[in-house]
Structure 1
Amino acid sequence: MPAAVTGPGTRFADLRSRIVSALVAGGVAFVLVALGGIWAALLATSLAALMLWEWASITRYRGAVPGLGAALPVLGSAAAVLASYLIGWSAGIAILVAVIVAAALRDGLAARPRDAAWAAIGLAYLGTACIAFLWLRLTDPFGVLACAWIVLVVAASDIGGYFAGRLVGGPKLWPRVSPGKTWSGALGAVALAFLSGGVFSWATTGTYYGEVCAVSAVCSALAQAGDLAESAVKRHFGVKDSGRILPGHGGVLDRLDGLTAATLVVAVVTLWRGQTVFIWS
């Protein structure tokens, strides 16, 4: 048998498909976020539905196509995101809580406590993240800049981790959960996110880029934690990818697991401080 071919080319074999799918999906998302209003709301609503559909595929159907039983909580959570824009943030959160309770009761009455727990976790985490992203986009000032910055930081984190991990290699970060991730990749991710976040702040608002650098680094670390958490869930259920909608990336949840974690962190920081991350006076 011939030896397996290894070398620089094989290390980046999936790079082309990753770049193409990222540019297409990212371009569409960027336009909708930039337009704001109902377009940003429809984007957040669609992402909530797609990610929760994939979550049900992983945790309830072990990678198979979800049945009709998954449709109601998925549609309910998507309605909660849209209601946040159309009616108000309190209404959106209330609808999401009602959907979580209804889904938990349905599975609980059917003697499926594990399904109830996993459904509640997905609905709460992903539904809240989509509402938070929409809230950040529609919060003045710098709403569009805040969302663009989050996406940039997470993308820079992915790129830094991808190249540092493949070029430097070294000890694995958590081999039992994600065999491909290394400590060098994790450090490269934080470094590039730190630099990119600061440059973005300097180029757009021109102020407080030191503080934004620090928050960018934290977002990178937590985005990687979100990525590892999703990998742990998939490994627990014996599922490789959350879906196949994005060539080179797997499913939507595979692509946005880090972004959801970073979004929640930025939303919490913004609520705690009462102002955007671009204002530190």
Structure 2
Amino acid sequence: MSVPPPKKRPSDLALRAISAVLLGPPVLAAVWLGGIAFDLLIALIAVLGLREWVRLAEPGQQRLPFSISLVAVAAVVATDLFSGAHAAVLLALGATPALYLAAHATRMKHRLLLAAGVPYIALSLVSLDWLRTENGAAGLSLFLFLLLSIWATDIGAYAAGRTIGGPKLAPRISPKKTWAGLIGGMVSAALAGFAVASWAGAEKPWLALIIGALLAVAGQAGDLFESHMKRRVDMKDSGRLIPGHGGILDRIDGLIFAAPLFALIHGLAGEWLQWW
């Protein structure tokens, strides 16, 4: 009697594709619709992302660190949703040292990293929400500009890194990343940003080339930072929530650094540049 061959597990690429097909449409629909759908998306990412951050920052114990961190991050995100980004940023500035003191009082080992979860998680999501909801009719196109710039960064960096190779960007943190990949990501993000700006009817779409390239650098920095956090606790992924992709933070690490930068650029210099 012949023994049936073992069942093949789906490849990582297949899992990534299936996850993207299943999760992509509802996420994009929430971005497109805005309003309460987008607010719920932001709140969900905050909770899931924070849980993964606590695993990276305080791997020895998670229940208490997550509980006190959730209070701080939830307060910032709720303030953003109900009172706006400016109030949320001010609260985050106060919540970060407060969380550090709470972590110190409960004798947590990595209290500084734990407290850093407030700006890392909350301020990035506040920036995303501000771009989408507090910029009127331009909110959707600005959000798409950021999102597509970061996606293009990942694609361009991967393609250039595999094709050209060359010197490593940060070999101790992420051995596969190269300087060629960084430049390829910057070029791809610049072109994607220019395409979105032109489609949206921006006043000066050529400025999108520069801003897109800057966002690519921020996105790659965010990727490297999360790689460092995972390496210090010997983790391959920040979580296992998304099959083939890892965790929430694995998917948005570039956005976490790029979103506040883009919000600052557009919020502080948008009117002066008159670019959108």
Q: What band does the TM-score fall into relative to the shorter chain? A: 0.7 to 0.9
Shift of 1:260: 1.2
**1:117 counterpart residue number:** 112
| In structure 2, distance between residues paired with 1:262 and 1:94 | 20
1:237-256 map, 5 Å: 237-256=233-252
Give the CA deviation at 1:169.
2.5
Query: 1:14: how far off?
Result: 4.3
Instruction: Determine if contact 2:149/2:189 at 8 Å carries over to the other structure.
Output: yes
Pick one of 119, 139, 153 that aligns with 1:157: 153
State the aligned residue count.
Answer: 265
Tell me the percent identity. Answer: 34
- Which residue among 161, 179, 183 is the counterpart of 2:175? 179
Moved more, 72-81 or 151-160: 72-81
SS in 2 for 1:181: strand
Q: CA 1:120–1:29 in structure 2 vs 1: closer, same or farther (change >3 Å)?
A: same
Normalised TM-score (structure 1): 0.85
Report what 2:35 is aligned to.
Answer: 37
Instruction: Give 1:198's aligned residue.
Output: 194
Q: Summarize the alignment of residues 18-57 of structure 1 with structure 2, pairs less than 5 Å apart.
A: 18-57=16-55
How far residue 68 of structure 1 moved from its aligned partner, in angstroms, is 4.2
The aligned residue for residue 83 of structure 1 is: 79
Partners of 1:103 and 1:206 in 2: how far apart?
A: 41
Find the counterpart in structure 1 of residue 69 from structure 2: 73
Aligned twin of 1:209: 205
Question: Following TM superposition, where does structure 1 have runs of at least 4 consecutive aligned residues deviating by more than 6 angstroms?
Answer: none
- Alpha-carbon separation, structure 2, partners of 1:136 and 1:225: 21
CA offsets per residue over residues 79-133 of structure 1, 9 Å max, x none?
Answer: 4213312233344335434543432122212333x52200111212221110111
Which one of the candidate residues 128, 139, 144 is aligned to 2:140? 144
Classify the secondary structure of the residue corresponding to 2:169: strand
**Structure 1 CA distance, aligned partners of 2:154 and 2:110?**
31
Shift of 1:61: 1.1
Give the Cα–Cα distance (whole angstroms) in 1 for the partners of residues 208 and 140 of structure 2: 16
| Distance in 1 separating the partners of 2:113 and 2:51 | 13
Paired residues of 2:197 and 2:208 also in contact (CA < 8 A): yes
